[in-house]
């Protein structure tokens, strides 16, 4: 064996190699460009020639394999116009199964789920927004009014419903019943020697045989003795109704719009985070109470299985 210094004919890199003594040729590869080289004895000199096509810059050429070696996978046959598709000396792939090319079908289904959840949220927001006007006057509802002062129930009281005197029926000391139209109503109770008390209530549609329920069809007032302006009194549940009418439509609208943006991101596969946020907020929009959350959280779960279909750096997605 002797060491031979040579210059790679492909990249002109200077290096050395151990060659056997005698006239036998040898093969190796360049340490710089990884091109296969053949060393041919030529008298006292050694001629170095490429053993095959040069490997592209920055890539590693697979080592040569002996014909018929175990694991050989023959390449596609060569033709007169094209070389083999896979060189015979390329080793077969023995790694884990390759992931299938992502397709648009999975993310398109997710986008439709988020879109449906967002649209149900928009519909529910509109329904809540118009509920007071929609329910106004649709049903005549029997309500019960309880009136008392600091000492006990009061008799001989009057009730104004939207500034109109109501016809009261006494059923027990301090307890009266009357019929009002459903919707938003202003109740004002008055008694001699006491300050008036008012309350703005929402009267929903209900079963005619429904038992008196506080805040729904049963309203209680405590009058203060003496003279003075009317006092405003809060009824159970009514604060929740008013908050729902005031804030829920706008929150559901905002959440649904975020969901629509997430549906677009899932369809275009531009941002995994935007698609996640869209799925989450479309569920929080509470479309049709349970339908929207079910669709949104289903999309959120399925997104984890399609995570590979999104690009996190360039914003570009793999082709379908």
pLDDT at 282: 96
Q: In the prediction, which pLDDT does 64 show?
A: 45
Average pLDDT over residues 267-285: 93
Cα–Cα separations (whole angstroms), residue 247 to 182, 205, 241, 267: 22, 22, 10, 30
What does the pLDDT read at residue 217?
94
Average pLDDT, the chain: 83
Q: What is the pLDDT of residue 261?
A: 96
pLDDT in tens, 46-105: 888 887 554 455 444 444 444 444 444 444 455 555 555 666 667 777 766 665 555 557
Lowest mean pLDDT segment, chosen from 110-119, 160-169, 232-241: 232-241
- The string of DSSP letters for 108-168 reads HHHHHHHHHHHHHHHHHHHHHHTHHHHHTTSSEEEEEEEEE-SSSB--SEEEEETTEE---
Give the pLDDT of residue 68.
44
Confidence of residue 234 (pLDDT cuts 50, 70, 90): very high
The count of other CB atoms within 10 Å of the CB of residue 177 is 17
> The sheet that has 157-161: what strands, in order across it?
164-165, 157-161, 183-191, 197-203, 231-232
- What pLDDT score does 19 carry? 79
Query: Of the ranges 61-70, 94-103, 193-202, 253-262, which one carries the lowest mean pLDDT score?
Result: 61-70
- What is the mean pLDDT of the segment spanning 126-137? 90
Kindly indicate the confidence band of residue 200, based on its pLDDT and cuts at 50, 70 and 90.
very high
Q: At what angle do helices 272-284 and 238-268 cross, to 10 degrees?
A: 150
18 pLDDT tier (thresholds 50, 70, 90): confident
318 near 298, Cβ under 8 Å?
no
Higher pLDDT, 92 or 165: 165
- Which range among 26-30, 273-277, 281-285 shows the weakest confidence by mean pLDDT? 26-30
Q: Is the pTM of this model over 0.85?
A: no
Report yes or no: 317 and 309 within 8 Å, Cβ to Cβ: yes
Which pair of structure tokens corresponds to residue 185? 């109503």
What average pLDDT does this structure show over 290-308? 93
**pLDDT (average), residues 120-137:** 92
Burial class (CB in 10 A: 0-12, 13-18, 19+), 296: buried
Q: What percent of the chain has pLDDT over 90?
A: 51
Report pLDDT for 220: 95
Residues 284 and 307: their CA atoms lie apart, in Å, by 22
Closest CA to 275 of 115, 100, 103: 115
CATH no. of 138-239 = 2.60.40.1120
Task: Please classify residue 209 by burial: count the beta carbons closer than 10 Å to its beta carbon, then call 0-12 exposed, 13-18 middle and 19+ buried.
Answer: exposed
Is residue 320's pLDDT more than 50? no
In angstroms, the CA 260 to CA 125 distance is 15
| pLDDT the model gives residue 311 | 63
Instruction: Work out the pLDDT band at 29, boundaries 50, 70, 90.
Output: confident
């Amino acid at each position: 064996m002797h060491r031979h210094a040579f210059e790679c004919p492909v990249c002109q890199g200077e290096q050395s190699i151990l060659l056997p003594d005698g006239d036998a040729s040898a093969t190796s590869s360049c340490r710089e460009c990884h091109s296969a080289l053949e060393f041919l004895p030529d008298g006292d000199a050694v001629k170095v020639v490429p053993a095959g096509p040069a490997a592209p810059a920055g890539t590693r050429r697979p080592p040569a394999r002996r014909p018929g070696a175990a694991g050989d996978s023959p390449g596609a046959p060569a033709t007169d116009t094209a070389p083999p598709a896979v060189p015979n000396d390329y080793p077969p792939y023995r790694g884990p199964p390759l992931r299938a090319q992502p397709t648009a079908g999975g993310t398109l289904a997710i986008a439709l789920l988020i879109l449906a959840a967002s649209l149900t949220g928009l519909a529910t927001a509109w329904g809540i927004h118009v509920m007071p006007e929609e329910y106004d006057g649709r049903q005549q509802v029997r309500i019960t009014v309880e009136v008392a002062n600091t000492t006990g129930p009061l008799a001989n009281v009057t009730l104004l419903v939207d500034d109109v005197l109501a016809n009261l029926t006494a059923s027990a000391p301090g307890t009266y019943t009357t019929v009002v139209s459903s919707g938003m109503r202003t109740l004002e109770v008055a008694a001699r020697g006491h300050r008036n008390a008012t309350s703005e209530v929402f009267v929903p549609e209900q079963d005619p045989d429904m038992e008196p329920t506080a805040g729904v069809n049963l309203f209680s007032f405590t009058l203060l003795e003496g003279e003075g302006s009317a006092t405003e009194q809060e009824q159970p549940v009514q604060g929740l109704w008013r908050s729902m009418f005031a804030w829920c439509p706008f929150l559901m609208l905002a959440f649904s719009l975020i969901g629509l943006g997430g549906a677009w991101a899932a369809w275009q596969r531009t941002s995994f985070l935007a698609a996640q946020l869209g799925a989450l907020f479309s569920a929080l929009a509470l479309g049709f109470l349970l339908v929207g959350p079910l669709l949104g959280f289903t999309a959120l779960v399925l997104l984890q299985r399609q995570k590979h279909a999104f690009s996190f750096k360039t914003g570009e997605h793999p082709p379908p």
